[in-house]
Amino acid sequence: MDEVAFVDASPLILLAPAGKVDLLRCAARRVVLPSAAHEEILARGEADPTVVAIRCATWIELGGGGSMPDRLRTWDLGDGESAVLALASQTKGAIAVIDDLAARTCAAELGVKVLGTLGLVIRAKRLGLIVAARPVMLELRAGGMHLSDRVLDRALREVGE
């Protein structure tokens, strides 16, 4: 297991309405939400399920933004993705929890380990934290996660479903 996971807003926005924020615990020993991603979530309003979930998840640490590596500036990512990648690139044993394709491509260029929301579900299933991945994946897709049938089927085959 990685030491620390820096989490972008989008995985939390997908997991919270499904009541699955706890899946982030399988990403790393510590889970950190950078300030920029936190602000993005708070802008959704007090009653938003993600805002409520991060207030209840006292194990999620709120963190800073880190200094921005020059290689990262050229990608023109959102503030949350940039903060996650900046922190993860500067922290030994870190993983970035992001879904955005451009951010994932940037992470590869920076040598940052990445896990997305779908990867969290797969990891949780492999660790025995959830009984079945299919219902979780379908619930996340119904809640707005962009997940084609082909990708869903491939992920389910990975976990024997």
Task: Report domain extents, the chain.
Answer: 2-158
Q: Give 78's pLDDT tier (boundaries 50, 70, 90).
A: confident
**pLDDT at residue 127 in the model:** 93
Comparing 76 with 13, the larger pLDDT belongs to 13
Comparing 144 with 71, the larger pLDDT belongs to 144
Residue 107: which of 62, 15, 99 has the closest Cα?
Answer: 99
Asked whether residue 54 carries a pLDDT value surpassing 90, the answer given is: yes
How far is 30 from 42, CA to CA, in rounded Å? 21
Residue 3: which of 31, 38, 42 has the closest Cα?
Answer: 31
**pLDDT at residue 2 in the model:** 67
Whether the Cβ atoms of residue 106 and residue 99 lie closer than 8 Å to each other: no
**pLDDT at residue 1 in the model:** 61
**pLDDT at residue 64 in the model:** 77
Whether the Cβ atoms of residue 48 and residue 6 lie closer than 8 Å to each other: no
User: pLDDT per residue over 14-31, tens digit each?
Assistant: 999 999 999 999 999 999
Third-level CATH fold of 2-158: Rossmann fold (3.40.50)
Farthest-apart Cα atoms in the chain, separation: 43
The single-letter code of the amino acid at 115 is L
Mean pLDDT taken over the chain: 92
Whether the Cβ atoms of residue 124 and residue 74 lie closer than 8 Å to each other: no
**Residue 152, CA distances (Å) to 91, 99, 140, 141 in order:** 32, 15, 11, 9
Asked whether residue 70 carries a pLDDT value surpassing 90, the answer given is: no
**Count of CA atoms in the C-beta half-sphere (13 A) of 53:** 22
**pLDDT at residue 86 in the model:** 93
Asked whether residue 45 carries a pLDDT value surpassing 90, the answer given is: yes
Q: Give 43's pLDDT tier (boundaries 50, 70, 90).
A: very high
Residues 6+ apart with CB under 8 A from 151: 118
Two structure tokens written together for 153 = 């089927």
Asked whether residue 69 carries a pLDDT value surpassing 90, the answer given is: no
Averaged pLDDT for residues 123-134 = 94
**pLDDT at residue 72 in the model:** 75
